[in-house]
Chain A
Amino acid sequence: MEGRPREEHDLVERARRGHVAAYEELVQLHQGIAFRTAYLIAGNAADAEDATQDGFVKAYRALGRFRAGAPFRPWLLQIVANEARNRRRSAGRRAALDLRLAGAGPSGGAAPSPEAATEAAERRRELLGALERLREEERLVLACRFFLDLSEEETAAALGVRRGTVKSRASRGLARLRDELGEDARA
């Protein structure tokens, strides 16, 4: 990761001058996060794919407006996320975000006992359920912050809101989750 910003800066500069291969490298660097952000917003993979591709193309044409030396990712995410919102809006769909648990959870450190693994899976299901009952605006902020690991600035750019709004929606969402899960735990 060392040296990434410098390298990215060079790629952006070359892309601005019309260097298509440099831009392709930038796409490769950021397509994962861009696609997942679009997926969370659009709610399905097909729209997310279109939004990501069109977003990257629009971002390329708009590179002349990009401030040299600024972080590229929030700027890009803003454009891709906007494409994703447009698609969802024009389809008139509510985003019924399809979040599925993968077969196995993350395997961190020592292999957990079967009991611990079962309990962890149960907690994840609970949390997912609670998350789905949140207001969408809160769920999206939490998903950007904790699932995608976006910074507050990036989350604000992607969702088209201010940073203060990101903060307040995140803390409201977390408080609701704690309320709900706390009660579940006692029950």
Chain B
Amino acid sequence: MRDVERELRDLGAALALPEPPEGLAARVRETVAAGEPPARPSRSRRRVLVVALAALVLAALGALAVPQARTALLEWLGIRGAAVERVETQPDAPVVPDEYGLGDPVTLEAARGLAGFEVAAPGASPLGRPDEVRFDPLTAGGQVAFLWLDDGGAATALLTEFRAPLGFEFVEKLAGPGTEIALVDVDGGRGIWLEGEPHGFYYLDEAGQPRDETLRLARNTLLWERGPLTLRLEGDLTREQALAVARSL
């Protein structure tokens, strides 16, 4: 039997793989120097995190008054990508509905090719088919988003799908006292329904830093697990509508 691995390495060394072109680094430097510096997680978002962490401690005490809800919520901390904590006061929700930051519009076919996971596309539901698909390669494993738009081009509902690699990526959502939280079943998978007052939304990345998340319709939200994915549907939806969309996937 030939040692194919060693032969492959030899072959790699013998191949004339091209070198990067001259001046590439200088051209990159020129381009980045002419543009904006790296986007930082916004100040308000960092403030949200600080408020949130403080609120978690309070919430841990406060929520004990409703042990059933607390238990249910704690169970939910096991969900791969998402976690919900109830807080007493609502930090300013950074709702930025117009620049979604979801990546480039792509065809569904392209999104399927680009995503590092099996994309679940919405089928027939009360919302109809989504109007736009976007792919964000900067999320680990990629993130696919489906948008439903009104006649003016504003998003009325949004479905995002992403894989939480190795369980590192963590989504936090702040739910104030005006938000109803319910555990729901989505085709046998665990789901959670948030309804009522707008809720702040942010991601914690692997280092526990808030991700620069610019989108949030921050309306009624359904979060659920599907295989290795966490899915999030939000918009002007009733619970029944949201579940219908989820089941259409």
Contacts and interface: CB of A to CB of B under 8 A. Distances in A.
Interface stretch (B21-29, B54-62, B122-130, B233-241): B21-29
Contacts, number: 170
A100 interface: yes
Contact of B4 (A18, A24, A162, A174): A174
B11 A36 contact: no
Interface size class of B (residues with CB under 8 A): 35 or more
Given A24-B26, A63-B38, A146-B5, A70 B207 contact: yes
A147 B12 contact: yes
Interface size class of A (residues with CB under 8 A): 35 or more
Interface string A133-165: 000000000110011110000001100111000
A31 B18 CA distance: 12
Contacts of A143: 12
Given A62-B38, A160-B141, A36 B18 contact: yes
| Residue from A16, A20, A101, A131 having most chain B Cβ neighbours under 10 A | A20
Contacts of A23: 28-29, 32
A11 interface: no
Interface string A51-90: 0110011101111110111100000001100100110010
B152 interface: no
B62 to A, nearest CB: 32
Given A34-B20, A181-B2, 12 more contacts: A35-B18, A52-B24, A57-B31, A57-B35, A61-B38, A62-B38, A68-B207, A70-B206, A105-B14, A124-B11, A127-B7, A182-B1
Interface of B: 1-2, 4-5, 7-21, 24-29, 31-33, 35-41, 110, 113-117, 137-138, 140-142, 205-207, 209, 211-212
